[in-house]
Chains A and B, each alone.
Chain A
Amino acid sequence: MIRNQYLQQLWELLSPVPERLRREWMYDYEEHFRMAAEHGRSEAEAAHELGDPRLIAKELLLTYRVDQAENSRSGGSITLVSRAVLAAVSLGFFNLIFVLGPYVALLGVLVALWSAAIGVGVSSLMAVYEGMFGGGVTMTQGIFIAMVLLGAGMLLGAGTHWLTKAFMKMTLAYLKFNSRVIRVNKK
């Protein structure tokens, strides 16, 4: 009874994970109950040993999210990395402050850089417009300025793109090694 309840709850908590992987993961816990019974321990003892299924599910979901973000074709899209970060946050207060905080702050910096790159690029249109219709610069000057601005925008964009990728990679590496929670046996 306790066993079925425990496994059922864990199964439901792992619902974001594809069924194949979920079954593979569940096998460990099913086996644990089985082996515990073989060693003459009750279902209640086995469940107590395993601890709260919600904690196990959170750990596993973090693994799943990090793996998903790492192996996505886009190489760690912002959405997938953010999901992984949120999965880490669910593991504890420490991660809320020391993972989510810096993550959001740095995302803000990246957004600012992206908009600066786009802004500089778009301003080249203004230069062309000014060259054609305005009196400030001649057509040739206008086009020249536009090319410089466009080039600068593209450089800034490329730089920010690289920075974004590096940041996503770093975040995932950090999540892999430092956001884990190890539970200690309660005596």
Chain B
Amino acid sequence: MNVQFKKGVLDLCVLALTAWEDRYGYELAVSMSAKFEVAVGSVYPLLSRLTQEGYFSTYLRESSEGPPRKYYKLTPQGHTHLMELIREWRSFSIAVDEIIKEGVER
């Protein structure tokens, strides 16, 4: 997928992954990287930015193996932002689909 495409939706996707459960950085980095072929290393700065913007809060939780892990939790503000992004995405993707139907698949 085109890099410019990805840029716009990465925030949405990483916020969406944490909608129902808090996740730790590695988990998010690996699943994002597997789905979108973005470098694992560019997911962590993304998480830091979203935290800085108030959409995530972080905390450390003990894990069964090894030192505590850093979890990312969606804040109420993050939740509102996520809903907004989803709304935008839906109307965008509907519009693109309509254009494709009209222009290509008639």
Q: Interface residues, chain A, CB within 8 Å of chain B?
A: 24-25, 27-29, 31-32, 34-36, 38, 49-52, 55-56, 59-60, 63-64, 67, 176, 180-186
B25 touches A32 (CB 8 A): yes
In the complex, whether B44 has a CB less than 8 A from a CB of chain A is yes
Instruction: Give A63's nearest chain B residue, CB to CB.
Output: B49
In the complex, whether B39 has a CB less than 8 A from a CB of chain A is yes
Which listed segment binds A: B3-11, B75-83, B89-97, B98-106? B3-11
B26 touches A185 (CB 8 A): no
A31 touches B47 (CB 8 A): no
**Neighbour of A184 across the interface among B24, B26, B39, B53, CB < 8 A:** B39
Interface residues of B in 59-84 (CB under 8 A from A): 65-67, 69-70
Q: Which residues of B contact A38 (CB under 8 A)?
A: 65-66
Q: List 15 A-B contacts (CB under 8 A).
A: A25-B48, A28-B25, A28-B44, A31-B24, A34-B66, A50-B39, A50-B40, A50-B41, A50-B44, A63-B52, A182-B38, A183-B41, A183-B42, A184-B38, A185-B39
Q: Which residues of A contact B44 (CB under 8 A)?
A: 28-29, 32, 50, 56
In the complex, whether B18 has a CB less than 8 A from a CB of chain A is no
Q: Interface residues, chain B, CB within 8 Å of chain A?
A: 3, 6-7, 10, 24-26, 29, 33, 37-42, 44-45, 47-49, 52-53, 58, 65-67, 69-70
B67 touches A182 (CB 8 A): no
Q: Which residues of A contact B26 (CB under 8 A)?
A: 31-32, 35-36
A59 touches B45 (CB 8 A): yes
B38 touches A185 (CB 8 A): yes
| CA–CA, A184 and B7, complex, Å | 11
Contacts beyond the supplied A29-B44, A31-B69, A60-B48: 11 A-B pairs with Cβ under 8 Å: A27-B70, A28-B25, A31-B24, A34-B67, A38-B66, A55-B42, A63-B45, A180-B7, A183-B41, A184-B37, A184-B39
Determine how close the nearest CB of chain B comes to the CB of A46; give it in whole angstroms. 9
